[in-house]
Structures are given as structure tokens and as C-alpha cells.
Amino acid sequence: MKAVIVLLLASLPVQAGLAEVTAIRGARIHTGLGSEVIENGTVLVRDGVIEAVGVDVPVPAGARLIEAEGKQVTPGLVDGYGRLGVEEVSGESTSVDATHTGLPYSAAFDLAPAVNPHSVRIQVNRSEGITAGVLAPGVRGDGKVMGPVFAGQAALLHLLPGDRAATQPGIGVVFPFGTAGAGLSGGSRAAAILRLREALADARDYRDNRRAFERGERRGYALTRLDLEALLPVLDGRIPLLVEANREADLRTIVEVAQSEGIRVVIVGGAEAWRAADLLARENVPVIVDALANLPENFDALDATLANAARLERAGVKVAFATSDRTNPRNVRQLAGNAVRHGMSHPAAVAAITTVPLAALVGAGTPLGLQPGARADLVIWDGDPLEVTTLPTEVFLSGVPVGTSSRQTLLRDRYRQLGAQPPAYRGR
């Protein structure tokens, strides 16, 4: 996995004509590593990679110097579970590539080829600090007809401008559980787990007897060959199974399955995860939550609470955030800020929207956050990054400034002053 990440980062060019060395000096630095902030610090970037972070870091001669007194710096924000670039307008089916129904494939369904790098949503979210996003596939079922076992493969999108957006496919396989998963499996959670175990058993048999399968000497499998291939990295522990579940009992069930099958899992949703926090911490299971989920919207979330993230942090669970609105992840800062208001530490909340999603899904084999060796995706803010009134002053991807303007900011500026409006908009 480390080799894959290194190759991906190496494939992202630094824009020609810009200084190879950039120093951001005098800022309040949030490293995204769960540690306390660095006051009056400096971030030094060379060739798109962070070279040094700290106080009194020497600035090389000829470096591009950004004086950032009174400002704050974070790693680029990460959409922990969304659909940037694969869903433009949810109500217009022709612009939605994130969900499917009735396919013969499940685990093999891969969103990466469907990414539109020119999506307006990418530009708007990047201008507010989102530099990467986890693309999560979905599957639709009616609870009456058996649906796929898996929704498909998640991908990681780096929000480079223009047609340079880079997508890393196959970072996890999504397994809908809880009420949704039951609806895809005849109406019962027990059936969903049975089908999951059958799929993993088939994939394991396929892996161990591939030549016999190719000769037609194996039993029939519940999944297609492409699905079985897609599950092999899950069996080998290279990628996690992303389990969409909220109810405490479901979380305990899926941890038991992970233990017996020898696979890694990441919980997505986790409205009642605080009730199983000790188990999740002990088994090192990360949780991607919506920190604003506090209503008993259904029988899967009767014990949802705004204190969920704080309680998980205190238990030692790695927490990441994703909004319920999967196409507008820029609002994830509001989730983090509310989590702090309800007991989560500020450093952990920053990590939850920067480094934790990446560490949970693509592993910690490469440096993340603001530390030497990490890719220089970072944001300079005009205030506390967890305050909704704070905005970026500069956004960098691989050390290259990508701007903070978008279609929305251009429209705002155009019509901010009455005199700037065309005649049709002026009073007569």
C-alpha cells in the first residue's frame, strides 16, 4: 500500500514557474497529528513536500515567503465519506454516478472511472479548504428484492484543479449493514451477515484455488469473478471493509465478524458507537461519524448524541468526520467545531477532518499532516479553522497554491455592490 501511495504522490506534478521552496512564517500551526498547536511557527515546503515544521525554522534564501502572523495553518481538509465528482445534482439522475441498482456486480463496482474533474462542486469545496475526498459508492434497494451484498469500492480523490484531479481507486469495499443492509438481503440483518460470510468464504476459496477455478473445477460462487478479485485485498488486510452501520448491536456484530474472518473494518455512521467505544478502541476500529447526528431518526440511532465523538476520543477510538450531505463536505468544519463544543479536544477534532480519514483508509505508511515528509496539502486560515465564519486565505495542493475563488465567490463579488449589477438587476 505504501508503494501505491508513493507512486500516486509522485505522479502529481508541481506547477512550473513557481518557487520550489515556500515558507509560511509566523502562523498558529495545527499539525493534524492530535498534538497541541505550534505558536508563531513556520512550515517549510520544498518540491511539494513538507521539509520542516516548528518554531525558528530557518528560511532558505530565495524561498517564497508568506508572512502569516495572525493566521492559522492546517493540513488540507479531507471529506471522510462523500461523492465529490461523481454526483453533481442528486435529483438529476444523469448527473449521479455514485449509486447503482440491479448490477450483476457488487464489490467490483468502482467509482474512479466516473470522476468528473471539472465538477463545480470540486471547485467550490476546494476553495473552502477541502483538498481530498473519499468517494463512497451506494446501492439502492426496495427491501423486497435481493440486492447486492456490497455497494462497491471506495476511491480517494485529490482535488487538483482542471483535469489534473488524481484518483486512487480501490481503497476499501463498502458493505451496507443495519437497516439498509437488511433491506438488500431479504429484510434481515442475519441474512446480510450470512451473505457477507459466504462472499468472504468464496473469495478465500477463489484465492487459494484460482487455477482450479479457471479449469472449471471449483464449485459455483455467489459472486462474479470480478467481485471475488475485488475482495482479495480485503482478505489480505491491504484495504478495509467499510461498514455502514449505526446500532450498537450491529457494531458489535461486525467487530466479531472482523475478528473471525481476519479482516480490517472501518465503521461509517456509528450513531451509537459511543456505547461500544471500549470494544472499538481495543480492536483498533476507526469510526467515521456525523458529529451533528443527535436525533433518534430510526431504530438504528435511538441513542445518538452530540457527545458521540468526545466519548469515542476519550475511549481511544480514532474518529473521523463526514457530513450527511455527501456533496458538500466543506461543512465538515462545523461538525468538528460542534464536537469540540461537546467535549472533544480541539487537536483531535482537527485530526478528524484532516489526517484520520487518510490513516484509516489508506494506512499510515506515508507521513500525513504537517510533518516532514508529508505531501504539502495545507490551508492558511484567517482565524480558527473550526469556526464557521473563518475562511481560507490560501489553499495548497502538493505545495502549489490553487486559489480560493469559485463560481460562488465570483457571483458573490459580482452582485455585492448594486452598481456592479447589470441593468436588469437595478431598480427602475
336-373 pLDDT, tens digit per residue, is 999 999 999 999 999 999 999 999 987 767 899 999 99
Beta-sheet strand order (sheet of 241-245): 77-82, 130-135, 152-158, 166-176, 241-245, 265-269, 287-289, 319-321
Q: How far apart are CA 310 and CA 132, in angstroms?
A: 24
pLDDT level of residue 195 (50, 70, 90 thresholds): very high
Predicted local distance difference test score (pLDDT) of residue 26: 97
Band (425; pLDDT cuts 50, 70, 90): low
pLDDT at 7 over 80: no
Rounded to an integer, the average pLDDT of 254-277 is 98
Give pLDDT, residue 1: 43
At 103 the pLDDT is 77
Kindly report which listed range (21-35, 159-173, 255-269) carries the lowest average pLDDT score: 159-173
Q: What is the pLDDT of residue 428?
A: 43
What kind and span of H or E run contains 45? strand 38-46
* The CATH classification of domain 73-392, taken from the options 2.160.10.10, 3.40.50.920, 3.40.50.300, 3.20.20.140: 3.20.20.140
> What pLDDT, on the 0 to 100 scale, is given for residue 95?
84
Which of the residue ranges 54-63, 90-99, 325-334, 377-386 would you say has the lowest mean pLDDT?
90-99
The three grid cell numbers given for residue 206, joined into one nine-digit string:
477463489
Which of 53-67, 172-186, 303-317, 401-415 bottoms out in mean pLDDT, i.e. has the lowest?
401-415
Confidence at residue 6, expressed as pLDDT on a 0 to 100 scale? 38
Model confidence at 144, pLDDT cuts 50, 70, 90, reads: low
The pLDDT-based confidence of 426 (bands split at 50, 70, 90) is: low
SS3 category, 25: strand
pLDDT digits (tens, 9 = 90+) for 86-118: 988 888 888 888 888 777 789 999 989 999 999
Tell me the per-residue pLDDT of 299-317, one tens digit each, with 9 for 90 and over: 999 999 999 999 999 999 9
In this prediction, residue 67 carries a pLDDT of 96
Q: Which residue has the higher pLDDT, 4 or 419?
A: 419
Return mean pLDDT, the chain: 89
Q: Among all chains, which residue has been given the C-alpha cell 515546503?
A: 45
- Domain spans of the chain, in order of start: 73-392
Instruction: Give me the mean pLDDT over the 143-169 stretch.
Output: 85
Tell me the three state secondary structure of residue 71.
Answer: coil
What band does 140 get if pLDDT is binned at 50, 70 and 90? confident
pLDDT for 235: 97
Contact status, residue 8 vs residue 53, Cβ threshold 8 Å: no
* Pair 188, 182: CB distance under 8 Å: yes
Mean pLDDT of the 18-35 span: 90
Confidence at residue 413, expressed as pLDDT on a 0 to 100 scale: 81
Average of per-residue pLDDT across 72-98 = 90
Confidence (pLDDT) at 71: 98
Model pLDDT for residues 368-423, shown as the tens digit of each residue: 999 999 999 999 999 999 999 999 999 999 999 999 988 888 888 877 776 655 66
> 170 pLDDT exceeds 80?
yes
Spatial distance between the Cα atoms of 301 and 311, rounded to a whole number of angstroms:
16
- Tell me the C-alpha distance between 149 and 100, whole Å: 13
Report the alpha-carbon distance of residue 168 to residue 35 in Å, rounded: 28
Q: How many CA atoms lie within 13 A of 90 on its CB side?
A: 8
